[in-house]
Homo-oligomer: A and B are copies of this chain.
Amino acid sequence: MTKTLKLYEEIRGKINAYRYALSVINWDSETEAPEGCFENRARQIGVLSGELYKIQTSRETFLVVNQLYKNKNDLNPLLRHEITVFKRNLTKIRKIPFKEFVEYRKLLAVSARTWEKAKNAADFSIFQPTLEKIVNYKKKFIKRLETTRIAGYDVLLDDFEKGFKAKNYDRFFSELKETLVPFIKTITSRKLDYNDAFTNQTYPVSKQKEFIHYLETVLQYDKTRGLRKESAHPFTSGFAPSDVRYTVNYDESDLTIALFSAIHELGHAIYEQQVNPELENTLIWGGGSMALHESQSRFYENIVGRSREFWKQHFPVLKTIFKKQLKNIKLRDFYRHINLVKPSLIRTEADELTYPIHIMIRYEIEKDLFAGQIEVKDIPSIWNAKVKEYLGLDVPDDSAGVLQDIHWATGMFGYFPTYALGSAYAAQIFRTMNKDFKVLKSLKNKNTEEINLWLKNNLHRHGASMEPKKLFKTVARGNFQPKYYLRYLVRKYSKIYQLEKQ
């Protein structure tokens, strides 16, 4: 066993090193790499991914992991879980032929650039051939990975949220639809009055950065173990708990875009920074699942970041930085503005209440796409029709429509639904946290210290050392139930829109 364990540690060390290199290269690609580098870069990424793949699928790894799995009851619980997940993934990975995998990775190495070009040109047709290739690979992978237990789109969903299948999501979204659609109708029929003079102002990027720098301290983001940059689409990249970086995009005409995308990404970043440092060299140092990760970003963005209590502390600071722009603007005006419910085109700019509708659109398209009921070329028109149907809006061009998100360009099908699930998780975790202390009242001490500590102890420190469902149950002290999410939303927005006073 000792020898096998030593071999395993070596294998694990290599896997981490390759992932690390690929993460750093990807970070560079998204934040600063010159446009001329990508053809060559794709080749290098192909080789490195190939080496990673070879290590993961080698006969030696297979033997070592199986040997440890056979003796898993002798392992400590952390390693036992790690080996169980490894064996499960190994079974999957070994079903994808090496050459196919490398070709797919090479495609992904340039696909995000093509997507960006198409987005800038607001023209889906530029991106369509690339997306078709990606979808074809995904379909091939599904065929290779299908078992008697799991098939079709569920194979992709399972990759991002173990244990959540289309039938689960169908139920979740239908429950949401039932409550939210009429509720949103009621809400949007009312007018939210406030002084919105500040929405026509210009907010220089340098000043926005100044406030986000302040927010990093408020949210207790450790700047010695991470950094912030700009990119077209904001994201968080954890190379290790000791190096968790994130990006922001700025719009000088709308302060709230950078602001809430920063709080969102900081939620992801704090999660990974707070993982038990002892897990750093294992394969289970990341977040527990995609939905759990998203629950943290949504928790900080919406439950904390769009609360009156939060801005009671920080709006005066914001006013100091934007003296001219926020002159005569009251906390109440700002609070109402950031919680204004208004159907819109861009997911990342959507309000908290209509947000799940954006996810539902993507979910429905993905489901139909992998059921073979629609084709890639049809996506734009279907997209636009759904936006019209659910949100009542006309999509002016592909940039504000089907091309707005990077996910499909990086092969992430099955990811989107975890966003809605994450929001729901966040609300249920908020409910549990409130049993231990008055969460929003704790913000009176300015920063999120008490909240971070609770999340660290109950969720973050665990990393990915448990199955997602079990981990959620641990932090929420109960099974997932959508009703807590709906209850939270209805209560919050009834109050803001003063429905209870009618």
Contact code string A104-130 (vs B, CB < 8 Å = 1, else 0): 000000000000000000000000000
A41 contacts chain B at the CB level, 8 A cutoff = yes
Which B residues touch A41, using CB under 8 A? 20, 239, 243
Contact A224 B44 (CB under 8 A): no
Contact residue among B16, B25, B34, B224 (Cβ-Cβ distance under 8 Å from A21): B25
- Secondary structure at the A interface, as helix, strand, loop or mixed, is helix
Instruction: Mark out the residues of chain A between 1 and 40 whose CB falls within 8 Å of any chain B CB in the assembled complex.
Output: 13-14, 16-18, 20-21, 24-25, 27-28, 32-37, 39-40
A317 contacts chain B at the CB level, 8 A cutoff = no
Tally of this chain's copies: 2
Which B residues touch A21, using CB under 8 A? 21, 24-25, 44, 48
Contact A36 B225 (CB under 8 A): yes
A252 contacts chain B at the CB level, 8 A cutoff = no
Bound state CA distance, A239 and B51, in angstroms? 19
Contact residue among B17, B33, B44 (Cβ-Cβ distance under 8 Å from A44): B17
Chain B: which residue is nearest A240 at the CB level?
B40
Which B residues touch A224, using CB under 8 A? 34-36
Chain B: which residue is nearest A17 at the CB level?
B47
Contact residue among B13, B37, B48, B281 (Cβ-Cβ distance under 8 Å from A242): B37
A43 contacts chain B at the CB level, 8 A cutoff = yes
Which B residues touch A39, using CB under 8 A? 242
Contact code string A211-236 (vs B, CB < 8 Å = 1, else 0): 00000000000111111010000000
Chain B: which residue is nearest A19 at the CB level?
B44
Given contacts A21-B21, A24-B28, A51-B14, contact A36 B281 (CB under 8 A): no
Bound state CA distance, A14 and B227, in angstroms? 30
A280 contacts chain B at the CB level, 8 A cutoff = yes
Which B residues touch A226, using CB under 8 A? 34, 36
Contact B36 A20 (CB under 8 A): no
What is the interface of chain A, defined by CB distance below 8 A to chain B?
A: 13-14, 16-18, 20-21, 24-25, 27-28, 32-37, 39-41, 43-44, 47-48, 51, 222-227, 229, 239-240, 242-243, 245, 280-281
